[in-house]
A and B are shown apart, each in its own frame.
Chain A
Amino acid sequence: GENVEQHPSTLSVQEGDSAVIKCTYSDSASNYFPWYKQELGKRPQLIIDIRSNVGEKKDQRIAVTLNKTAKHFSLHITETQPEDSAVYFCAASIRLSGNTPLVFGKGTRLSVIA
């Protein structure tokens, strides 16, 4: 089955700097890669996702890149703000005929220092 590795497990950056979180996956058939943000005491929420037919996607200060050959994808947060502090989870899924659950990475705890 699919296995998702996520690095680093913790990340501290100064406010205004950029943060990068990287994930690798094992199953080359995976074609959907979402990122979830979980603030302290709250539920995980989808912040951005990318499908295997594109290499990059941006949404304001957040971007995700995908390298299918190397089987890795990354989350980039620019101009970080204290409210970006949270745990971020990457995930991978294969969308075939039917429902295939997401396989999550172990999470990255991001701390933005004001």
Chain B
Amino acid sequence: ETGVTQTPRHLVMGMTNKKSLKCEQHLGHNAMYWYKQSAKKPLELMFVYSLEERVENNSVPSRFSPECPNSSHLFLHLHTLQPEDSALYLCASSQGWLALSSYNEQFFGPGTRLTVL
């Protein structure tokens, strides 16, 4: 599959579980993002990674832990979540730092629909 992929597409977990969301981009981009999408805040930026370094952490609770092992992969590790964390989690990528001619067009993955019981 080309573009940005995310797994799993759906996830149901209890508050004491530990799970991870995975994102992979096949576009040769250098920057990757996690967004939370819910009815209250439609596109809320959580984390930004550029060249595998975290460049922004938007005051996200520590129960969300991102990991970027290389420029193509991004993970979101989940631990002791709350029911209010139920949302669609979207990953995106863009050309980022090295593409000075780019204007940060972001390509989104299909999202993971997370339900916390």
Query: CB within 8 Å of B: which residues of A?
Result: 31-32, 34, 36, 42-46, 49, 51, 87, 89, 93, 95, 97-104, 106-107
Contacts and interface: CB of A to CB of B under 8 A. Distances in A.
A99 B32 CA distance: 10
A25 B57 CA distance: 21
Contact of A101 (B30, B41, B56): B56
The listed residue with most B CB atoms (<10 A of its CB), out of A97, A99, A102, is A99
A97 B100 contact: yes
A7 B108 CA distance: 23
A100 B104 contact: yes
Nearest to A43: B108
A102 B41 contact: no
Contacts of A100: 104
A98 B42 contact: no
A106 B42 contact: yes
Nearest to B110: A43
A99 B50 contact: yes
Chain B contact residues (Cβ within 8 angstroms of A): what range? 20 to 34
Contacts, number: 61
The listed residue with most B CB atoms (<10 A of its CB), out of A49, A51, A101, A106, is A101
30 contacts: A31-B103, A32-B104, A34-B105, A34-B106, A36-B108, A43-B110, A44-B43, A44-B90, A46-B105, A49-B103, A89-B42, A93-B103, A95-B103, A95-B104, A97-B100, A98-B50, A99-B48, A99-B50, A99-B55, A99-B94, A100-B104, A101-B48, A101-B56, A102-B104, A103-B45, A104-B42, A104-B45, A106-B41, A106-B42, A107-B43
Nearest to A34: B105
Contacts of A49: 103, 105
Given A45-B108, A51-B103, A106-B41, A99 B90 contact: no
B109 A43 contact: yes
A102 B109 contact: no
B110 to A, nearest CB: 5
Interface in B36-58: 41-43, 45, 48, 50, 55-56
